[in-house]
Amino acid sequence: MERTYLIRTFGCQMNEHDSERIAGQLDGDGMTAAASVEEAGVVVFNTCAIRENADNRLYGNLGHLKPLKDRNPDMRIVVAGCLAQKDQARIQARAPWVDVVVGTHALPRLLELLRAAEADGPQMDVREYTEVFPSAFPAVRRDDFRAWVSIAPGCDNACTFCIVPLVRGPQRSRAVGDILAEVQGLANRGVVEVTLLGQNVNTYGRDLTVPGSSPRPLFAELLRRVGAVEGIRRVRFTSPHPHDFTPDVIDAMAETPTVCEHIHFPLQSGSDRVLKAMQRSYRRDRYLGWLERIRTAIPGIAVSTDVIVGFPGETEADFADTLEVVERAGFDSAYMFQYSPRPGTRAAGFDEQVPKPVVQERFDRLMALQEAVSLRLAQVQLGRSVEVLVEGAGKRGVASQGRTRTNRIVHLGGQHDPGTFLEIRIIEATAHHLRGEVQAAVEAVGIRATV
Ligand code: SF4
């Protein structure tokens, strides 16, 4: 009988990439992807602990599976990822029909745990330390032409709103040679764009021992070397931390033609008082100073950010500071979040939680400001010719969609093959996407965007 699996992924790109590794292990064991939960022999929930009500959603999903599992006791249910690492034995206490709980550091043991569950009943591995990087296993990638590459899971910071250090542990950098070999392997299989993933890419390498030199951040060097891999035409990365940012990274970005003109640079708040309470060890002037240096070195670079509204103790004056910085920074796009306490974080225990209606009202104001800024900056693109990498069909009936080097989504008429590069003239601009018409195919590597 055919053995099948289905993976449901929640949360960030790191989780999406972990799911590709989970699929790689299951495929390698002879399983195939199922179209629905009903047809799946193994169902994996790869969970996120950051989103609000993440645990309620997980238990809701597990509750829906219970009748299926009752009818089909051979079905195996796996809870993986950050919530597995955080809630550990509580998961099987609340949902005893779960067969395997596998934390963020134990993913490479998934098949072993499934076999043990077969023989001996429910299993759990939530070890605290990564011994084998999931990258050592094959991946079933979402696309043939682009790929995520994990460079340093974990984080050594302690932002008071964030659960990541608890569930992912301290930073562990992969060896440069491993990363380059993975990128070269991807390029050999036709991948043209890679996104380097780390919680704090700037400190990549700080925990590696390099013969003949003391440990130091190696991100700039890595960027140059990944950017030079033959066949790779676009390099992206996420996320840098404004505190750990260094000038050599700007130089590497500016001098490596394949590194795209986009940076995701998390602000979180424009108030120094709130940044301090968040334990984000930079201040607004330093943040804006970095932006200026980046924009001077890489003209036309697009900048996106994250902003949290309503952090405990945020006053109207603090929020006004955020509005001011958002206006001055001129972000092309922003992920805006309404603060809500996440169990396990320090900020969840802070006094002065801001009432929900106040958070909502501030959020609406910030959103309106950012929409106006995004639209203004998008309209600057009108009439320009840019290189677009086609991603496939867009949402809501859009025939094709692609992405500029500056990470702007471009809607296109007609069908175009995913993974091809086109030169596009921008004919329409909204706050969230552009529309363009095709001018020509693009063959040359590393064409700098005109924006
Ligand atoms: S830098 Fe801060 S927000 Fe980012 S993962 Fe680390 S603790 Fe979380």
Q: Of the candidates 207, 185, 211, 280, which has an alpha carbon nearest to the alpha carbon of residue 242?
A: 280
Helix (H, G, I), strand (E, B) or coil at 274: helix
Note the pLDDT of residue 216: 81
Angle at 301 between CA 297 and CA 305, to 5 degrees: 115
Helix crossing, 219-227 with 247-255: angle to 10°?
A: 10
Mean pLDDT score of the chain: 92
SS (H, E, C) 80-143: EEHHHHHHCHHHHHHCCCCCEEECCCCHHHHHHHHHHHHHHCCEEECCCCCCCCHHHCCCCCCC
Q: Who wins on pLDDT, 302 or 216?
A: 302
Substitution site in 51, 157, 307 for ligand 1 pocket (most atoms within 8 Å of beta carbon):
157
* 53 class by beta-carbon count within 10 Å (0-12 exposed, 13-18 middle, 19+ buried): exposed
Instruction: State pLDDT tens for residues 72-114.
Output: 999 999 999 999 998 899 999 999 999 999 999 999 899 999 9
Measured in Å, residue 163 CA sits from the centre of ligand 1 at 8
- The one-letter code for the residue type at 278 is M
Any ligand 1 atom below 6 A from CB of 50: no
Measured in Å, residue 287 CA sits from the centre of ligand 1 at 16
Any ligand 1 atom below 6 A from CB of 280: no
Helix (H, G, I), strand (E, B) or coil at 178: helix
Contacts 24+ apart (CB under 8 A), 348-353: 350/160, 350/277, 350/312, 350/313, 351/312, 351/313, 352/312, 352/313, 353/312
Contacts 24+ apart (CB under 8 A), 432-438: 432/333, 432/374, 433/401, 433/408, 433/409, 434/378, 434/381, 434/404, 434/408, 434/409, 434/410, 435/410, 435/411, 436/386, 436/388, 436/410, 436/411, 436/412, 437/412, 437/413, 438/412, 438/414
The radius of gyration of the chain from alpha carbons, rounded to an integer in Å, stands at 23
Give, in order, the Cα–Cα distances in Å from 359 to each of 20, 52, 312, 319, 349: 36, 15, 10, 10, 18
Measured in Å, residue 224 CA sits from the centre of ligand 1 at 25
3-state SS of the chain: helix, strand, coil percent to 5?
A: 35, 20, 40
pTM of the model: 0.90
Note the pLDDT of residue 1: 54
Where does 315-379 have alpha helices with state H?
316-329, 356-379
Instruction: State pLDDT tens for residues 226-282.
Output: 999 999 999 999 999 999 999 999 999 999 999 999 999 999 999 999 999 999 999
Residue with tokens 């060097």: 221
Q: Whose CA is nearest to atom 1 of ligand 1?
A: 157
Residue with tokens 């399983």: 31
Residue 337 pairs in a beta bridge with 308
Lowest mean pLDDT across 36-45, 238-247, 414-423, 439-448 = 439-448
Note the pLDDT of residue 451: 32
Substitution site in 199, 269, 276 for ligand 1 pocket (most atoms within 8 Å of beta carbon):
199
Note the pLDDT of residue 443: 65
The b/e string for 384-413 (b: 16+ C-beta within 10 A; e otherwise) is bebbbbbbeebeeebebbbbbbbbbbbbbe
Q: Could you give the CA distance from residue 85 to residue 423 in angstroms, rounded to a whole number?
A: 45
Note the pLDDT of residue 434: 97
Answer whether residue 438 shows pLDDT above 50.
Answer: yes
Any ligand 1 atom below 6 A from CB of 199: yes
